[in-house]
Chain A
Amino acid sequence: MSAAAHAVSEGIGIAHLSHRYPGAAAPALDDVSLEIPAGSSFGLLGPNGAGKTTLLSILMGLQRPQSGTVRVTGLDVARATRRVRGLSALVPQDQAFYLQLSGLENLRFFADVYGLSAAQWRDRLDYVTRVCGLQELLGKRSQDYSGGMKRRLNLAIGLLNAPRILYLDEPTVGIDAISRQVIIAAIQALRATGTTLIYTSHYMEEVEAICDQIAVINHGRVMARDSTANLLHQKAGKTLLLRFAAPPGSAALAALAGWSPVALPDGQYELMLRDAGQLALVVEACRAHWLQIEQLQFGVSRLERIYLELLK
């Protein structure tokens, strides 16, 4: 068996998975097949209602697939549900803990539910509070935490049983920059330990930073599946990123229309060139319209653009 094939057999294999909820017009999952190598950091992207949460539920053994097979670390999820769950943990997008309990009481409760021994509990408590930056908060009732702190506690609970596979369902939605940084750093630290991460998010920068593999799913179907590097590279040779000193007027944008300019959330503009030879033409067009270029990057692609194109 090759090294790659072995990694997949210890990772996650999904074959022809379909699922339709009773009364639903369209299937939530429609013939989904994916291979996720062990130890990889896998981004599962898609708009709301694309089927991501259903896929996570089936991978965790919380829902039975109507057709197809799912193997996690070589185990058939439908037959070895309890063993599969024992290897995994879920960090849901909701704050799935008890607001009336303190951080420590929540962690203790979930540790007992996982069946951790006293020694394991001490070790894991030390680890999760350090990694998630919860040391100062443990004694406080979690209802008094900020949104970001609650997200950190949500993640910490998911790390208690040292899972081999961690499912993160939008773990940073709606939080402040510091808490996001703490959570992303904690997830990066997990990557280093060889934990397989399945990560869903609408924040493409995070996915770019965290995930080495990506699948885009929409209407229950896989639209694209590749390594992050490959996806970004596909269009990288043709992409020009420009930052102007002042926002361009409509006449200037009309002059650039031939390169399909797209305004990005960070204020930059992305243009698609046929080749590097067109760079001079773009610069000339900007100068003709008194557009002062502050920053110019060629050959760099952005996941957000690729994602939106795939969903078109």
Chain B
Amino acid sequence: MSRSALLACIRKELLLLGRDLHGLALLFLMPLAFVLIMSLALQDQFATQAGAKLAVLVTDADHSPASADLVKTLTGSNAFRFVTDDTAQDATLTDRALRRGDYAFAVLIAHGYAGNLLGTPAAGAPPLVTLSVAPDTSRQMEAIFEGSVRAALGRARMGALLLGLGGNAPAEPATDNAIGLHYAYASDTAGRAAAVQPTAVQQSVPAWLVFGAFFVVVPLSNTLIRERQQGTLRRLRSTNLGTLTLLLGKLVPYFLINQLQVVMMLLAGRYLVPLLGGQALQINGAWWLLAIMAAALSCAALGLALLVAVTSRTTEQATLLSGTGNIVLAALGGIMIPKFVMPAAMQSVAAFSPMSWGLEGFLDVLLRGGGLREIAPEAGGLTALGLATILLAWLLQSRRSD
């Protein structure tokens, strides 16, 4: 393999990419835009206090001290935004407001609530409390809210029971001091325990960084296919340029591009997202662990890209295959939808996506404070996949006569 030929190929590839505005936008602007948008859009999902809370309409039709107590207990929770309106007793109007998206839930405390609190409602009698759910409220939120209503109702019944027995109802909710909250977050580089918050930016940067890295497939395959279609590959072969040099001439520059992408995304998370109102990315773990993950990720992305480039006949075919493939891998791999919201079956499918390996590896370092042992399975898997696909692409390209 001639060194001057390899350097010429690398230089040529960088020049071609430098003049390919679409390719540059795809590799740098697209993941950057996703990092910014998703970090800002999802920050409320990860914040503990801030954020737009779900609205709940509370209607007290009983107007008794007992029902007032229940309203007080319910609205004491700061997890939801409560709106009390005792005139809203028309079920049709309430349903309309829920369908309009004004509220996520509506709670109606029935007339006669106080009198029936300790008894069993007669057959056909309205329930003590009716919970109405808006059509776009998630089942998960419904379960959480229903649980908090049941807890409030249970506490009201317990209070009434104690009063009936001549005792006093507890003045403060019993759980306030009984439950200690501990966050198992990693320590930061300064050693401060539980300092690394699972913020939106902490999730978005690695996710979209991984996604962007796999998009090297588009410019890489387009260049190789155009070389084949224009007869340039045939000419290059006639100059004694070997397949290995040809492929290395593509792999080396795109490896560097991948590393640049990683650095750029980390810097964007660290410095750009806070400028736009988001939280800053906390870069934890040793830099060399991030470098190992970046190299392994690039290896897999380049191997798959080379395989697509070698096996596709046209640039349209390669773009369609790689674009669709990347989106499927991203959807499966927890890039677009976090894996923790997927059902168990989907989570096991996600484990087959190399994007998931990349994401988990980066989260191991950035979020979980993992070391070499923690990232080894992901980094190893990505590297093995990359080497296998590069080898296969090399064999296929060597057998081609163009």
Residues of chain A at the chain B interface (Cβ within 8 Å): 57, 60-63, 82, 85-86, 88-90, 92-98, 100-101, 105, 108-110, 112-115, 157, 161
Contact = CB atoms under 8 A, between A and B. Distances in A.
Nearest first, the 5 A-B pairs at minimum CB distance are A112-B8, A94-B231, A96-B231, A96-B235, A90-B238
Given A98-B12, A101-B15, A112-B4, A62 B236 contact: no
A92 B240 contact: no
A101 B241 CA distance: 19
Contacts of B12: 98, 101, 105, 109
A269 B289 CA distance: 82
B7 A112 contact: yes
Interface string B200-238: 000000000000000000000000000000111011111
Contact of A92 (B9, B16, B19, B234): B234
Given A93-B231, A113-B5, A62 B16 contact: no
Given A82-B240, A96-B232, A113 B20 contact: no
B15 A100 contact: yes
Interface residues of B, number: 24
A100 B240 CA distance: 23
A101 B15 CA distance: 8
Interface string B6-18: 0111011001100
B2 interface: yes
Given A62-B237, A62-B238, A100 B2 contact: no
B340 to A, nearest CB: 44
Contacts of B92: none
B401 interface: yes
B2 A115 contact: yes
A97 B8 contact: no
Contacts of A63: 401
A98 B232 contact: yes
Contacts of A97: 230, 232, 235
A110 B239 contact: yes
Most B C-beta atoms less than 10 A away, residue of A88, A108, A115:
A115
- Interface SS, B side: helix
Given A85-B239, A114-B239, A115-B5, A96 B234 contact: yes
A88 B238 contact: yes
A97 B9 CA distance: 13
A85 B240 contact: yes
B235 A92 contact: yes
A63 B401 CA distance: 7
Nearest to A160: B239
Contacts of A157: 235
Contacts of B238: 60-62, 85, 88-90
Contacts of A161: 239
A304 B9 CA distance: 43
Given A93-B231, A97-B235, 14 more contacts: A62-B234, A85-B238, A89-B238, A89-B239, A90-B234, A92-B234, A94-B232, A96-B232, A98-B12, A98-B16, A101-B12, A109-B11, A114-B239, A157-B235
Interface of B: 2, 4-5, 7-9, 11-12, 15-16, 19-20, 230-232, 234-241, 401
Contacts of B19: 100
A111 to B, nearest CB: 8
Given A57-B401, A98-B12, A113 B231 contact: no
Nearest to A85: B240
Contact of A105 (B15, B232, B239): B15
Given A109-B12, A112-B7, A113-B5, A94 B230 contact: yes
A219 B20 CA distance: 43
A89 B239 CA distance: 7
Nearest to B3: A115
A115 B9 CA distance: 12
Nearest to B232: A96
Contacts of A114: 239
Contacts of B9: 113
Contacts of A85: 238-240
B86 to A, nearest CB: 72
Nearest to B19: A100
Contacts of B239: 85, 89, 110, 113-114, 161
B401 A92 contact: no
Nearest to B8: A112
A86 B16 CA distance: 27
A86 B231 CA distance: 19
B221 to A, nearest CB: 16
A101 B236 CA distance: 16
A60 B241 CA distance: 13
A101 B14 CA distance: 11
A117 to B, nearest CB: 9
A60 B12 CA distance: 24
Contacts of B401: 57, 62-63
Contacts of B230: 94-97
B192 to A, nearest CB: 50
7 contacts: A86-B240, A89-B238, A90-B234, A90-B238, A92-B234, A97-B232, A115-B4
B240 A90 contact: no
A157 B232 CA distance: 11
